[in-house]
Amino acid sequence: MVAPKKNKDVEDDYVVSEENEQLSKTQIKAQMVAMQKLGESLVHLGQSSLAKIPMEPELLDAVMLARKILRKKEGYRRQLQLIGKIMRSIDIAPIEQALSNIKSAHKKINDAFHGTEMLRDAILKGGDSKIELTITDYPLLDRQKMRQYVRQANKQRAENKPPKASRELFQYLKQIING
């Protein structure tokens, strides 16, 4: 049996407005899973980060209970479902915004850390010329101290000793550059 042909002209002219459209069961389920994942990310946050998130007391209580029953598989799953249910009835935009702020702050700290590591490695490889370039970028750095760290690091590398001077140079750079 051949399926009936659809009239594309009629379909293109008929536009369904957003407010009249009902969500399908699949869409509702996808929203529930998304809310549960958001709730799970709240459960896995540290206490100080969780305090920065604006949420209703009912949601906070549910998240704290989920943290207590984290090891009990079925109870934890059901608690995440409850968190998702609570989140469907509230505005989650402030929660998502606070979570993204926390993640971006963490990313900035990591980027600064990696940048300092790369600068240290470049100074150890580049020697005096790289020290001079770095001092022009960061005038608070002490030229003599940096040269001393580089000499000690090269000596330790030649003697196959632990890179203590390299670590000290990193700490010095981190202190001066990142404040």
Q: Is the dihedral of CA 97, 99, 102, 103 positive or negative?
A: negative
Backbone dihedral region of 46: left (phi > 0), alpha (psi from -120 to 50 degrees) or beta?
Answer: beta
Instruction: Please check whether residues 88 and 114 belong to one and the same domain.
Output: no
Please report, in tens digits, the pLDDT of each residue of the chain (179 residues total). Answer: 555 555 444 444 444 445 446 888 898 888 888 888 888 888 888 888 888 888 888 988 998 988 888 777 888 889 888 888 888 888 888 988 888 888 888 888 888 899 899 999 999 898 888 988 988 888 898 889 999 999 999 899 899 988 898 999 999 998 988 77
Domain extent for 158: 106-178
Residue 8 is assigned to a structural domain of this protein: no
Q: What's the pLDDT at 6?
A: 52
Q: How many domains does the chain have?
A: 2
- Among 99, 133, 153, the domain-final residue is 99
Instruction: Please check whether residues 141 and 165 belong to one and the same domain.
Output: yes
Q: What's the pLDDT at 1?
A: 53
Residue 7 is assigned to a structural domain of this protein: no
Q: What's the pLDDT at 148?
A: 92
> What's the CA gap between 78 and 162, in Å, rounded?
50
> What's the CA gap between 112 and 97, in Å, rounded?
23
- CATH no. for residue 167? 1.10.60.30
Other C-beta atoms lying within 10 Å of the C-beta of residue 137:
9
- Among 32, 67, 99, the domain-final residue is 99
> What's the CA gap between 146 and 138, in Å, rounded?
12
Residue 118 is assigned to a structural domain of this protein: yes
